[in-house]
Amino acid sequence: MLQNKWYIMLQYTQERMLQFTISSPKSEFIEHLVVGLLHEPFVRVGQEQFRVETVRRLDPPDFSDDMCFVALSPIVCKTKSDDDRYAQYLFPGDGEFEHKLFENLCRKYEALYGHPYEGDRSFRFTLDPEYLERRKGKVQKLITLKEGKPDETRVKGTLAPFRIEAPRELIEIGYECVRYEGTLFIIYI
């Protein structure tokens, strides 16, 4: 089982703090980052320097083949064929969305374990219907990456709680890797 999700709190002043969670399926990366933060407890973010206040491992959930999560930033899924000039953004409910997400998790599995995923291929991804109703279906969010830079990019994603039904090992990889064609941060509920 992967257990590489860490909570980090940085403090600039009493009023200004920065908190984030970082994870990786590669324990060496996390070990080096944590040791580095403890050895040199200052981090520069833009023009500001923050002092590292807290670094702690987060306990993983008990993984199963049917789990609910809350997305903390938009879930971005895009595809681009040779015929397309621009990437096409996919959303839950689009025909290819589940297929692309499943393929992505299988590629991560292969990268991590050195062999293709050959297990159960059942896969289902659904948004929380009560949340969708409260938001009147408005769960898409436009985010800007590298804002103000020459390579500024805008991507569209979905920001909503979701349920995933898939093989446990693929859910675990998705939870630890927390990235799918863009930015995806999730917490277990």
Q: Which CATH architecture has domain 66-188?
A: 2-Layer Sandwich (3.30)
Q: What is the pLDDT of residues 45-101, one digit of tens each?
A: 788 888 888 888 777 788 999 999 888 778 888 887 788 888 788 899 898 899 988
> Do the beta carbons of residue 76 and residue 181 sit within 8 Å?
yes
Question: Model confidence at 180, in pLDDT bands (50, 70, 90)?
Answer: very low
- Per-residue model confidence (pLDDT) at position 8: 64
With 50 as the cut, is the pLDDT of residue 182 above it? Answer: no
Domains of the chain: which residue ranges? 5-57, 66-188
The pTM score is 0.74
